[in-house]
Amino acid sequence: MKTIDTQDSQISGKSYTLKDWQGGYESLNQECDYWIDDIEGEIPPELTGTLFRNGPGLLDINGQRLHHPFDGDGMISRITFTNSRAHFRNRFVKTEGYLAEQKAGKILYRGVFGTQKPGGWLANIFDFKIKHIANTNIIYWGGKLLALWEAAEPYLLNPHTLETLGNEYFNDVLSKKEAFSAHPRIDPNGTLVNFAIKPGPSTTISIFELNIKGEITSKQNHSVSGFCFIHDFVITENYCIFFQNPVSFNPLAFALGISSAAQCIKVQKNQPTKIIIIPRTGKTQTEQVKVLETQAGFIFHHVNAFEMENEIIIDSICYESLTDVEPNSDYRETDFESNSPGQIWRFNLNLSENKVQNQLIDNRACEFPTIHPNNVGKAYRYVYAAAAHHATVNAPLQAIFKLDFKSGKKQLWSAAPRGFVGEPIFVPKVNSQQEDDGWLIAVVYDAENHRSDVVILDAVNLEKGAIAKLHLKHHIPYGLHGSFTPEIFI
Ligand code: CO
């Protein structure tokens, strides 16, 4: 691994090989516990706390391959930092589906993203029993460690042991199988805001606010016309904002067992994106829900949003088009160069004129943005994201990118050619004064050694190289989301 200059556009050819990238899509079957003793550099003594990560741990069930990694059973990795040392533990979320399939030694459920039970359409026809895989995010909030998956209720885990304790219903405010998204936003005032999508010909968006004790203090429901695919949202002081991507949903092929639910979603390129602006509970009660339209591509993740005079400003990772999840395609053969990249866009919503302006901020392909937690919903200066190595070519995520909105300055730390980067998390230093005074922590798959590293970077200066690389004894399959808490769990 080496640090490269972002100005260096002399690099030609690919920054990776597909075979190296594919290595990160092998299952990790074992559950481990150990102090990490193979460390390059030094873990900063002030870095104390626990990083939780979630993602698909299994890409096959007893050798039967899943059609899409998003169908993989959730596995929690926990890295605890204390006294310049780090401890690793991983455990699968022991969902009903995980336990049943491990016992049976075969695929028993249809996955949302295309995994079918063996036996073709006859085995899958009218089977709407989808497995809750709890694989998308993990948060520690109000003394509860919660594994999140957007289509159902959270799983509650013991933060000390990672043992699965059951489902969490927040004193019965959630009902059985009620959704609770994988993308909560934490208002720096100490409120966790989350949402849920209940699909149908018209969609219900629920918004939950949770206090610091982990109790749901408010829930509001809104009906939205049409089918919604909404994975993430943003908050400001007064609003929750949702982007309704232009997609259609034809459930017939799903019902007949021919396609998965995700394969029935088609992007409608000629349709506008609807931006749904909902006042937050207790803020501007008299205000109505507002819907604005814009031409935008497809969005999974937003960076942040904030209010400025009569505008709301939203930064998002936007794809011009989206490759469909095809029934017979192999995700491991992804042709990155022909897919459109996710890029940082800024949307300016003028609330008095009901107008939207949008602007591409940077060409680089990136995903999994992170910011200083104190700036959620507020004006901010720095964004960090996992990114492609090359500034203009779409490719797997191999680097960590920093963008300064104020100066336009960019920095890059790259793990290319043989490293592949997951979501970075920004961890502020205690008593930090500057917005970027902290660390970026990411899990990086090292194809050369078929293992993963936990990499710690100085967020002020990415280009000086990693402060520490913690070599794990094994790989972690490419993950999705995670979070950091200053509390120490071992
Ligand atoms: Co996500």
Question: Ligand 1 centroid to 122 CA: how many Å?
Answer: 32
Q: How far is CA 86 from CA 20, 50, 214, 454, in A?
A: 27, 9, 28, 10
Question: Ligand 1 centroid to 90 CA: how many Å?
Answer: 20
Tell me if 410 sits within 8 A of 362, measured CB to CB: yes
Q: What is the pLDDT of residue 5?
A: 41
Question: Ligand 1 centroid to 286 CA: how many Å?
Answer: 32
Question: Ligand 1 centroid to 232 CA: how many Å?
Answer: 7
SS3 of 379, please?
coil
Q: How far is CA 192 from CA 35, 188, 300, 345, in A?
A: 32, 9, 20, 25
Task: Give pLDDT < 70 ranges for the chain.
Answer: 1-12, 119, 121-129, 250-264, 283-286, 323-328
DSSP state of 124: H
Question: Ligand 1 centroid to 245 CA: how many Å?
Answer: 15
Tell me if 115 sits within 8 A of 66, measured CB to CB: yes
Strand partners, 219: 208
Q: Compute the distance between CA of residue 11 and CA of residue 400 in angstroms, rounded to an integer.
A: 17
Question: Ligand 1 centroid to 119 CA: how many Å?
Answer: 31
Question: Ligand 1 centroid to 180 CA: how many Å?
Answer: 13
Question: Ligand 1 centroid to 55 CA: how many Å?
Answer: 10
Question: Ligand 1 centroid to 423 CA: how many Å?
Answer: 10
pLDDT per residue over 296-337, tens digit each? 788 999 999 999 999 999 999 999 877 665 666 788 888 898
Please work out, in degrees rounded to the nearest 5, the angle formed at the alpha carbon of residue 375 by the alpha carbons of 373 and 377.
110
Question: Ligand 1 centroid to 352 CA: how many Å?
Answer: 31
Q: How far is CA 422 from CA 12, 82, 252, 292, 332, in A?
A: 24, 23, 35, 33, 17
Question: Ligand 1 centroid to 336 CA: how many Å?
Answer: 19
Cα–Cα nearest to 5, from 387, 422, 410, 396: 410
Question: Ligand 1 centroid to 181 CA: how many Å?
Answer: 9
Q: Which residues contact 468 (CB under 8 A, 6 or more apart)?
A: 39, 40, 41, 42, 43, 44, 455, 456
Question: Ligand 1 centroid to 291 CA: how many Å?
Answer: 23
Question: Ligand 1 centroid to 456 CA: how many Å?
Answer: 22
Residue 178 structure tokens? 């009620």
Question: Ligand 1 centroid to 215 CA: how many Å?
Answer: 23
Question: Ligand 1 centroid to 300 CA: how many Å?
Answer: 6
Question: Ligand 1 centroid to 368 CA: how many Å?
Answer: 7
Question: Ligand 1 centroid to 154 CA: how many Å?
Answer: 15
Question: Ligand 1 centroid to 138 CA: how many Å?
Answer: 11
Question: Ligand 1 centroid to 40 CA: how many Å?
Answer: 30
Q: What is the pairing mode between strands 74-82 and 64-65?
A: unpaired
Question: Ligand 1 centroid to 348 CA: how many Å?
Answer: 23
Q: What is the pLDDT of residue 329?
A: 73
Q: Compute the distance between CA of residue 321 and CA of residue 460 in angstroms, rounded to an integer.
A: 33
Cα–Cα nearest to 282, from 223, 215, 219: 219
pLDDT per residue over 360-383, tens digit each? 999 999 999 999 999 999 999 999
Q: Compute the distance between CA of residue 194 and CA of residue 178 in angstroms, rounded to an integer.
A: 13
Question: Ligand 1 centroid to 233 CA: how many Å?
Answer: 10
